[in-house]
C-alpha cells in the first residue's frame, strides 16, 4: 500500500540487527539471527509475489516488483555474499565495530571485503546496487565544527558506555575516528571522503549527522554546504539526479 501511495517509489531495507540485547526479549539468541533472518525474508518475498501463506492467507495488494527493490544491510562478509546471491542492493553502515584483532582498522578496511564478496556472488547480468552511508558535519569554520563535534561525540560515547560498550580514546580526534565521522570545513570533509576507498565503489551515497547531532541551525547549514560544495566535488549534480544517475541523499 505504501508503494502505491508513493507512486511505486518504495525501496525496502532489511538487516539482521547488530545488538545482541535486541533479540533476548523475543527469546532468540543473537547467534541464530542469520538463519531466522533468511527464513522470514523469504517469507516476505513469497508474500509480495502473491503466494499463499499460513492459514490460506495472501497479501493484498501483491507487489512482486518489490523483489527488485530490496536492500540488505550488513557488517559481515557473509552478509555481503548473501545480498549478492539474492541479487539485492547492499547497504554499508556509516560505522561498525572493529574486530578485537584489528582495533585500528579503517572503516573501508572492513567494508571493501564485504563489497568484494557481494560482487563475487552477484548473478551474471544483475546490476550492482551498493549504498554507502557516512556521518558528515560540515561547517564554515573548522574550529567551530570540531567544538560542536566534541560535544556531540562525548554524548554519544556516554550513551555507548551506559550500554556496556567501550569507545577507545579520549581526545576529539580519537572520538572522530571511533565514530567514523567526517567533520570540518567543506575542504576538510571532501579530502576525508576521498580517502575512503569503499566509497569509490558505491552506486548510492547517504549522509547523516549522527553521532554529532549539532544544533538545528548548524544541521541546516551543513546540509547546504554538502549540497553546494561537498556533493559536487564527489561528482554529484542536480542534472545527474534528474536523469537518475548516481544518487546521493543527505538526512538530518
- Contact status, residue 74 vs residue 81, Cβ threshold 8 Å: no
Residue with cell 566535488: 233
Question: Which pLDDT value is given to residue 252?
Answer: 42
Question: Which pLDDT value is given to residue 136?
Answer: 96
Question: Which pLDDT value is given to residue 243?
Answer: 55
- Contact status, residue 206 vs residue 250, Cβ threshold 8 Å: yes
pLDDT tens digits for the chain (252 residues)?
Answer: 999 999 999 999 999 876 777 788 888 888 888 889 999 999 999 999 999 999 999 999 999 999 999 999 999 999 999 999 999 999 999 999 899 899 999 999 999 999 999 999 999 999 999 999 999 999 999 999 999 999 999 999 998 888 777 888 889 999 999 999 999 999 999 999 999 999 999 999 999 988 899 999 999 999 999 999 999 999 887 665 555 554 555 554
- CA dist 28 and 39 (Å) reads 14
What are the Cα distances from residue 39, in Å, to 32, 42, 73, 99, 229? 11, 5, 16, 27, 44
- Domain(s) labelled CATH 3.20.20.30 in the chain stretch across 75-251
- CA dist 92 and 121 (Å) reads 16
Pairing of β 130-138 and β 204-208: parallel
Query: What is residue 95's three-state secondary structure?
Result: coil
Burial of 40: CB neighbours in 10 Å, binned 0-12, 13-18, 19+ = exposed
- Contact status, residue 160 vs residue 168, Cβ threshold 8 Å: no
What CATH number belongs to 75-251? 3.20.20.30
- Cell numbers given for 112: 571493501
- Contact status, residue 167 vs residue 160, Cβ threshold 8 Å: yes
Amino acid at each position: 500500500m505504501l508503494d502505491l501511495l508513493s507512486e511505486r517509489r518504495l525501496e525496502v531495507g532489511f538487516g539482521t540487527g547488530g545488538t545482541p540485547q535486541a533479540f533476548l526479549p523475543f527469546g532468540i539468541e543473537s547467534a541464530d539471527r542469520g538463519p531466522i533472518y533468511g527464513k522470514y525474508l523469504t517469507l516476505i518475498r513469497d508474500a509480495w509475489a502473491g503466494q499463499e501463506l499460513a492459514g490460506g492467507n495472501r497479501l493484498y495488494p501483491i507487489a512482486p516488483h518489490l523483489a527488485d527493490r530490496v536492500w540488505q544491510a550488513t557488517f559481515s562478509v557473509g552478509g555481503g555474499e548473501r545480498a549478492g546471491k539474492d541479487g539485492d542492493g547492499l547497504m554499508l553502515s556509516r560505522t561498525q565495530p572493529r574486530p578485537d584483532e584489528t582495533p585500528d582498522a579503517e572503516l573501508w578496511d572492513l567494508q571493501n571485503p564485504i563489497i568484494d564478496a557481494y560482487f563475487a556472488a552477484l548473478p551474471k547480468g544483475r546490476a550492482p546496487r551498493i549504498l554507502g552511508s557516512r556521518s558528515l558535519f560540515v561547517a564554515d569554520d573548522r574550529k567551530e565544527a570540531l567544538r560542536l563535534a566534541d560535544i556531540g561525540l562525548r554524548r554519544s560515547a556516554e550513551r555507548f558506555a551506559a550500554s556496556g560498550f567501550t569507545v577507545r580514546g579520549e581526545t576529539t580526534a580519537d572520538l572522530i575516528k571511533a565514530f567514523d565521522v567526517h567533520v570540518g570545513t567543506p575542504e576538510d570533509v571532501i579530502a576525508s571522503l576521498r580517502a575512503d576507498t569503499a566509497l569509490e565503489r558505491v552506486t548510492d551515497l547517504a549522509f547523516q549527522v549522527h553521532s554529532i547531532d549539532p544544533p538545528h541551525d548548524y544541521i541546516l547549514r551543513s546540509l547546504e554546504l554538502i549540497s553546494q560544495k561537498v556533493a559536487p566535488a564527489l561528482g554529484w549534480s542536480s542534472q545527474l539526479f534528474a536523469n537518475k544517475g548516481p544518487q546521493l541523499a543527505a538526512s538530518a
